[in-house]
Amino acid sequence: MPDRVIAIGDIHGCSAALKTLLRAIQPRPNDLIVTLGDYINRGPDSRGVLDELIRLRERCRLVSILGNHDEMLLRSRTGRPVVVDTTPAGGPGNSLERDWGRVLPTLSGENLAFLESCVDYHETEHHIFVHACYDPRLPMDCQPASLLRWQSLKREVPGPHVSGKMVIAGHTAQKTGEILDLGYLKCIDTYCYGGGWLTALEVRSGEVWQADARGRAPSRR
């Protein structure tokens, strides 16, 4: 069993925030860290984020989930159709295309291989980790990718998962900077790129670490 199980929310190119969190967390070999996706776009240093996560693999057990921004970059690279949800509660439309078009030329082959290795979700004995959302009636291996990567909690908040496990999600920015805690579901995307925080949560103890896009920790924690 891991010493700690730590989830990290949407990083979005905020490498300074990620470095501050990792200095505070001090990952150990028997820790499990689950990153919830959206490593690229919006923030200033997408490659720096990916490089930091690649190094993190040498310090602990790292499971990285694929976000919708990451998926679109991979699709654009291979020529597969890029389907963008442009509804108000979904993706932000053409701004994403501009972002990944700018980011892609800066990435190394190792960065792209990292994104290709990301998983759709992760499940432990007591927790489920997803980028965006889920169907509460379906086992995780039957979940539609559109829900896992694109469905916003602003559109519809699912009920408890049929497994009874706590779900840890990102994707839906909490612009207050506070974790959304529904008891059975926690959303830890706390809007780092937009003036909020990058959040890490130890899912068993409830310990929280946060940093802003410039790498500064909040005074309250």
Residue carrying structure tokens 């040498």: 58
Structure tokens, 20: 């501050």
Q: Under a CB-based contact definition with an 8 Å cutoff, are residues 192 and 175 in contact?
A: no
Q: For residue 89, what pLDDT is reported?
A: 39
Distance from C-alpha of 99 to C-alpha of 164, rounded to nearest angstrom: 37
Residue type, 44: P
Q: Under a CB-based contact definition with an 8 Å cutoff, are residues 166 and 203 in contact?
A: yes
Q: For residue 93, what pLDDT is reported?
A: 45
Domains of the chain from N-terminus onward: 5-211 (3.60.21.10)
Distance from C-alpha of 45 to C-alpha of 43, rounded to nearest angstrom: 6
- Residue 19's φ and ψ, nearest 5 degrees, are -65, -40
pLDDT in tens, 85-95: 533 334 444 45
Structure tokens, 202: 């130890």
User: How many C-alpha atoms does 20 have within 13 Å on its Cβ side?
Assistant: 19
**Residue 207 falls in which region: left (phi positive, over 0), alpha (psi -120 to 50) or beta:** beta
Distance set, CA 163 to CA 114, 122, 123, 139, 158 (Å): 30, 14, 11, 8, 13
Structure tokens, 185: 């579901």
Burial class (CB in 10 A: 0-12, 13-18, 19+), 29: exposed
- Residues 91/97/99/105 CA torsion (nearest 10 deg): 140
- Residue 162 reports pLDDT greater than 70: yes
pLDDT > 70 in the chain, percent: 89
pLDDT in tens, 103-151: 888 999 999 999 999 999 999 999 999 999 999 999 999 999 999 999 9
